[in-house]
Structure 1
Amino acid sequence: MSEINAMLHRFWEIECSGIENFPVRKDEDRIVLNRAQESIKFIDGRYRITTPWKDTASVLPNNYSMTLNRLKTLEKCLQRNSEMAKAYQDSISKHLKKGYIKQVECSENVRATWYLPHFAVVKQDRSTTKTHIVFDTSARYHDVVLDDVAFHGPKLRTT
């Protein structure tokens, strides 16, 4: 049993390499790490942290119309390709089942409303997972981009 423990210990040493003593180079990175440390919770077997919003997050416009138009365009594309539509629906179902995404009701109290558009990326050269979903955080609406109102945080991986 001690051999297994030693192997597991070595695995975690390698896995955490460069993270534990990660040098914080920017004030922004320090803010993100502090907010993550303050908000981290272990709920239902998963770690959760709050989104590291910048103070400008309260100015997010409601982008429902833009996101709805993009969804309609996506649906038209998926209607022309039933195989891609099935793969896309399977991806959405997996995301829901794993808790990566959830359906929200309009009545939920939120700080700001920003709908996250998504689209399909198809890679014909792959034998598995040819279709996957990309959530478009760089979508622009009224000159606002979600990527601009949330801190990115430090790069914690070197590979």
Structure 2
Amino acid sequence: MRRIQFLVVLFVLFYSVNAQVNDGRIAEVLKAVADYDIAWNKKDIEVVQRFLVPEYVYFSSRGGLLHRHEMLNFLRSPDYVLTFAERSEIKAFREGNTVIVSSRWKGKGKYGETEINDDQRCGQVFVRSKGTWKLLSEHCVQIQPSSS
């Protein structure tokens, strides 16, 4: 009987420690998302590029594909002006050294003469590399108004 109790206690301790590690990793990624957003909104190319892995890819809401250098050129462009941005409805899902972040991103601004008025559902894929969380991929789609 004592052996079973010992095994139960051992299992509970292992599960508790594992859950704390998972929660800590998720918290690290959520901080990375916040730091990435701050850098993006400030057009801080140096910080943004540190977040993006060399193989980074962005899938646009219209089916387009932008690689790391193209996304950095977009952000760097004087034609791109963001006047408002917010991320909400954030949820994170972890498996090993990969975390998927689901969120709602709203942004307003201009690209050249084109108005930006986005309300998007976004998925970001973060991977842990050399002790830091890096952004591997993003995919955002416009949220369509309900037709009911």
| Same fold by TM-score greater than 0.5 | no
* Higher share in helix: 1
